[in-house]
């Protein structure tokens, strides 16, 4: 057999049929549902008199539209003040109860942001096809899954048939070799990649991240990277299986035990690209060139090292690019040539499916420890990605570090990443955010988002402006390794 | 699923690259559990001067006079002319729902984000891909011509202007067939139910841990 990429292997092993019209029927192992993109799909099933194809492939939880405020959460679903939000969360509960789908309800242990919850429960395992009505589903690719976002019509299709009508993507490999420096995190690596290939650089491709930087990275860090594949236009991002993948999975709730575990591990170890496998596009970066990254504009590709200046429109050769930079700077209220490490920040958000895992919480806490939020900062939200992350962080005392620094320790959910709930920016406010999108209005109408790592966001909270976190690390205790 | 065969209509411009789905339909409108009614909130933050909330009557909200689609000459547009990487960002199908509900049957752009592109076909909205140069020509003609209309034919895969220019576009045959006939895709897949069951039997033998854990 010809040499195959990891993506080729995952595709081949889930092929139910190759249809005459050039499409394929692809089997879906795991379907993750949440309250925002599922109600119309369930309604479609009801109208057509259909039910789920099977139940043990589905898992659901509310995350996008729920409050992160403790007292509001304690009031339960019926206590959600906004009627439209309440109906949506209630509808997920009702649909899951009606059809018999396993749901981790709003305040149950296990609940969390879909892309934090799936891997940490072991609901997503290596070699699976994983879909969800959310574009950041690529996150699960960190476990060598073929995982991607789908629309609501496809949510209904997967519920009803356990399959998707698909067309195979092309293969792209992004390699980063070397060893990243102190203060350079997985977020910086993926932002640097997006800066290089652009927001549509991966369109039509499944990206495999390879090289020593990803081998050295924790599985949580790989999730941060795969999560943002979509910001480079790729629906799918993946990292091959290695020992870290296997130790990550071991002992998790839905992962097999005993003989079945050994059988699974044997198969999982084959989930790597063969030597000489063909990639349609190869991109290479070197770790030495990557320093902490910050976005200055309104697209994730508008990113620069924290040491750089905000670009000047007049320096852009391409006319369309110049127009884009002008428009972005106007929206962001920034002048070309301003040092990025001087931009004042109003609010800080540490959370989202990109950066709300336990490592992210630790990373932020290391910077926050023994320091105070600058007086000019209106709010610092620390939103753990799941009930399990929250419990673990509290067991480690991280919540106390944040609270002592003047930050708010919240309940798990998507929160200010997309600002569907009350956590949002005011008009014109700048936010140091660990989320994934800096689109116009994403975190609130007129809000100005600067994407960065949890360490950088925590440092901005302390400094009151964007700052190179490496200055904090050199002056803080030795042995801090971000 | 809604069918699409041929459409002639007024063209409206969205002259910027990387129009994301947050821009097409902002998140507060995603709280709805319905599929319809998103049209009045299409491009909400660009289109209105105030902040919109779901359930609000949009008819007396202050319109942004600088937003192209608010200009009288583009009122009633049913073909949206756009730039590259249209529909990037989230997977929300609310984006094509809003376009369709507003009255757009066709989008023409040099490229689309993958998920958005896919979602359009499920909702009877045809996303036409032309080259950047061809899209440039259409933008120039649109600006120069009041009441500019185009004819879009899916069967022949052509966009035709009144000046007689014909632009060919390509798309996957399976997507074309589904859209032309408006077939129920789930029904089509279920015709292969035996194959799916057979796959599950074989998979259950090879990788038994995939099944049964979630109860």
B99 & B193 share domain: no
Please give, rounded to a whole number of angstroms, the shortest distance from the CA of A87 to a CA of chain B.
Answer: 8
A277 & A297 share domain: no
- Cβ-defined contact of A203 to B114 (cutoff 8 Å): yes
In a domain, A481, yes or no: no
A40 & A57 share domain: yes
- Cβ-defined contact of A40 to B34 (cutoff 8 Å): yes
Domain count across chain B: 2
Q: Enumerate residues 6+ apart whose C-beta is below 8 A from A376.
A: A344, A346, A464
A341 & A448 share domain: yes
Q: Which of A52, A62, A153, A246 to mutate to test the interface with B (most CBs of B within 10 A)?
A: A153
pLDDT of residue A160: 98
Joined tokens for residue A153:
């019509």
CATH of the domain at B56: 3.20.19.10
Whether B26 has its CB under 8 Å from any CB of chain A: the answer is yes
In a domain, A471, yes or no: yes
A154 & A66 share domain: yes
Distance between CA B167 and CA B154 in Å, rounded? Answer: 12
ipTM for this model? 0.95
A310 & A196 share domain: no
Q: Are B130 and B169 in contact (CB under 8 A)?
A: yes
Please give, rounded to a whole number of angstroms, the shortest distance from the CA of A16 to a CA of chain B.
Answer: 6
Question: Which tens digit of pLDDT belongs to each residue from B135-187?
Answer: 999 999 999 999 999 999 999 999 999 989 999 999 999 899 989 988 889 99
- Cβ-defined contact of A254 to B214 (cutoff 8 Å): yes
Whether B114 has its CB under 8 Å from any CB of chain A: the answer is yes
In a domain, B53, yes or no: yes
**Beta-sheet pairing, A293-295 with A379-382:** unpaired
In a domain, B54, yes or no: yes
B118 & B134 share domain: yes
Question: Which tens digit of pLDDT belongs to each residue from A387-426?
Answer: 999 999 999 999 999 999 999 999 999 999 999 999 999 9
B152 & B170 share domain: yes
B50 & B152 share domain: yes
Q: Which of B209, B211, B212 to mutate to test the interface with A (most CBs of A within 10 A)?
A: B209
Number of neighbouring beta carbons within 10 Å of residue A350: 33
pLDDT of residue A480: 41
pTM score: 0.96
A91 & A195 share domain: yes
A199 & A122 share domain: yes
Distance between CA B152 and CA B133 in Å, rounded? Answer: 18
Please give, rounded to a whole number of angstroms, the shortest distance from the CA of A475 to a CA of chain B.
Answer: 39
In a domain, A215, yes or no: yes
Number of neighbouring beta carbons within 10 Å of residue A185: 27
Q: A-chain residues within 8 Å CB-CB of B114? A: 203-204, 233, 235
Positive or negative CA dihedral for A140, A142, A144, A146?
positive
Angle made by CA atoms A253, A257, A258, in degrees to the nearest 5: 165
Q: Which domain holds residue A5?
A: 1-291
pLDDT of residue A476: 52
**If you count residue pairs, one on A and one on B, with CB atoms under 8 Å apart, how many are there?**
205
B194 & B89 share domain: no
Domain count across chain A: 2
Q: Which domain holds residue B212?
A: 184-215
- Which of the residues in chain A have pLDDT under 70? 475-482
In a domain, B151, yes or no: yes
B117 & B205 share domain: no
> Nearest residue on chain B to A323, judged by CA atoms?
B16
B173 & B196 share domain: no
Question: Which tens digit of pLDDT belongs to each residue from B53-90?
Answer: 999 999 999 999 999 999 999 999 999 999 999 999 99
Whether B10 has its CB under 8 Å from any CB of chain A: the answer is no
Q: Which of B26, B172, B190 sits opposite A441 (nearest CB)?
A: B26
Domain boundary among A243, A259, A291: A291
Domain boundary among A268, A291, A314: A291
Q: Which of B88, B132, B179, B188 to mutate to test the interface with A (most CBs of A within 10 A)?
A: B88
What is the phi/psi pair of residue A335, to 5°?
-100, 140
In a domain, B1, yes or no: no
B147 & B206 share domain: no
Interfacial B residues in 173-202 facing A (CB < 8 Å): 173-174, 177, 184-186, 188-190, 192-193, 195-196, 199-200
A184 & A271 share domain: yes
Please give, rounded to a whole number of angstroms, the shortest distance from the CA of A81 to a CA of chain B.
Answer: 13
A284 & A298 share domain: no
Q: B-chain residues within 8 Å CB-CB of A420? A: 27-28, 30-31
A270 & A336 share domain: no
Strands, sheet with A163-166, edge to edge from the N-terminal-most edge strand: A15-18, A24-27, A163-166
In a domain, A399, yes or no: yes
B148 & B194 share domain: no
- Cβ-defined contact of A439 to B122 (cutoff 8 Å): no
> Nearest residue on chain A to B173, judged by CA atoms?
A21
Residue A443: burial class (beta carbons within 10 Å; 0-12, 13-18, 19+): buried
- Cβ-defined contact of A84 to B55 (cutoff 8 Å): yes
pLDDT of residue B171: 95
Q: B-chain residues within 8 Å CB-CB of A256? A: 208-209, 213
B111 & B196 share domain: no
A334 & A274 share domain: no
Domain boundary among A234, A259, A291: A291
pLDDT of residue A320: 84
Positive or negative CA dihedral for A449, B42, B180, B3?
positive
Q: Which helix (H) or strand (E) holds A402?
A: helix A398-405
> Nearest residue on chain B to A100, judged by CA atoms?
B215
pLDDT of residue A475: 57
In a domain, A31, yes or no: yes
In a domain, A482, yes or no: no
In a domain, A480, yes or no: no
A260 & A312 share domain: no
Distance between CA A345 and CA A177 in Å, rounded? Answer: 33
Please give, rounded to a whole number of angstroms, the shortest distance from the CA of A441 to a CA of chain B.
Answer: 7
A110 to A27, A119, A169, A417: CA distances (angstroms): 26, 11, 33, 20
In a domain, B68, yes or no: yes
Q: A-chain residues within 8 Å CB-CB of B16? A: 323-324, 327
B192 & B129 share domain: no
In a domain, A114, yes or no: yes
B62 & B109 share domain: yes
> Nearest residue on chain B to A415, judged by CA atoms?
B27
CATH of the domain at A359: 3.30.499.10
């Amino acid at each position: 057999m010809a040499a195959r990429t990891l993506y080729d292997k995952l595709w081949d092993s889930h092929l139910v049929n190759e249809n005459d019209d050039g499409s394929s029927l692809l089997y879906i192992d795991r379907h993750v549902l949440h309250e925002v993109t599922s109600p119309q799909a369930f309604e479609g099933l009801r109208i057509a008199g259909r039910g789920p194809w099977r139940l043990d492939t589905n898992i659901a939880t509310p995350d996008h539209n729920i409050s992160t405020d403790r007292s509001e959460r304690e009031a339960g679903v019926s206590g959600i003040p906004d009627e439209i939000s309440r109906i949506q969360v209630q509808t997920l509960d009702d649909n899951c109860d009606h059809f018999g789908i396993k749901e981790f309800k709003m305040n149950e242990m296990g609940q969390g942001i879909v892309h934090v919850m799936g891997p940490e429960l072991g609901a997503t395992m290596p070699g699976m096809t994983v879909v969800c009505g959310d574009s950041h589903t690529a996150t699960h690719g960190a476990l060598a899954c073929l995982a991607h976002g789908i629309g609501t019509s496809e949510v209904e299709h997967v519920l009803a048939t356990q399959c998707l009508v698909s067309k195979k993507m092309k293969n792209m490999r992004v390699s980063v070799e070397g060893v990243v420096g102190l203060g350079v995190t997985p977020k910086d690596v993926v932002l640097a990649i997006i800066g290089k290939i652009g927001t549509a650089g991966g369109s039509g491709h499944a990206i495999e991240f390879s090289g020593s930087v990803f081998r050295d990275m924790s599985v949580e860090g790989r999730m941060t990277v795969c999560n943002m594949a979509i910001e480079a236009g790729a629906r799918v991002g993946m990292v091959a299986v290695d020992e870290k993948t296997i130790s990550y999975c071991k002992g998790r709730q839905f992962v097999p035990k005993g003989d079945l575990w050994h059988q699974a591990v044997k198969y999982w170890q084959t989930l790597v690209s063969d030597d000489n496998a063909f990639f349609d596009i190869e991109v290479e970066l070197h770790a030495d060139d990557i320093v902490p990254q910050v976005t200055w504009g309104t697209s994730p590709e508008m990113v620069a090292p924290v040491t750089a200046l905000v670009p000047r429109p007049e320096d852009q050769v391409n006319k369309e690019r110049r127009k884009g930079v002008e428009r972005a700077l106007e929206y962001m209220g920034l002048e070309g040539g301003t040092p990025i490490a001087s931009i004042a920040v109003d609010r800080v958000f540490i959370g989202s499916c990109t950066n709300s895992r336990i490592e992210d919480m630790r990373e932020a806490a290391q910077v926050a420890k023994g320091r105070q939020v600058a007086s000019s900062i209106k709010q610092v939200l620390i939103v753990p990605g799941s009930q399990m992350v929250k419990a673990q962080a509290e067991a480690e005392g991280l919540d106390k570090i944040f609270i002592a620094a003047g930050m708010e320790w919240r309940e798990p959910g998507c929160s200010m990443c997309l600002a569907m709930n009350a956590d949002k920016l005011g008009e014109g406010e700048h936010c140091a955010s660990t989320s994934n999108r800096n689109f116009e209005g994403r975190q609130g109408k007129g809000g100005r988002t600067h994407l960065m790592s949890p360490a950088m966001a925590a440092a901005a909270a302390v400094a009151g402006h964007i700052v190179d976190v490496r200055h904090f690390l050199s002056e803080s205790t030795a042995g801090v390794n971000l | 699923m809604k069918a699409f065969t041929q459409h002639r209509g007024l063209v409206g411009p969205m002259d910027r690259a990387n129009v994301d789905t947050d821009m097409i339909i902002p998140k507060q409108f995603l709280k709805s559990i319905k599929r319809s009614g998103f049209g009045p909130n299409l491009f909400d933050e660009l289109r209105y001067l105030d902040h919109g909330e779901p359930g609000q009557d949009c008819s007396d909200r202050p319109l942004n006079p600088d937003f192209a689609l608010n200009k009288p000459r583009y009122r009633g547009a049913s073909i949206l002319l756009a730039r590259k990487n249209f529909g990037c960002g989230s997977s929300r199908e609310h984006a094509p729902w809003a376009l369709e509900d507003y009255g757009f049957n066709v989008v023409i752009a040099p490229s689309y984000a993958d998920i958005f592109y896919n979602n359009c076909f499920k909702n009877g909205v045809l996303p036409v891909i032309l080259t950047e140069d061809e899209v440039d020509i259409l933008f120039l003609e649109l600006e120069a011509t009041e009441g500019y209309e185009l004819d879009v034919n899916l069967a022949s895969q052509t966009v035709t202007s009144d000046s007689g220019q014909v632009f060919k576009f390509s798309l996957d045959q399976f997507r074309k067939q589904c859209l032309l006939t408006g077939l129920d895709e789930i029904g089509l897949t279920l015709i292969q139910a035996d194959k799916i069951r057979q796959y599950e039997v074989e998979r259950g033998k090879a990788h038994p841990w995939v099944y049964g854990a979630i109860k």
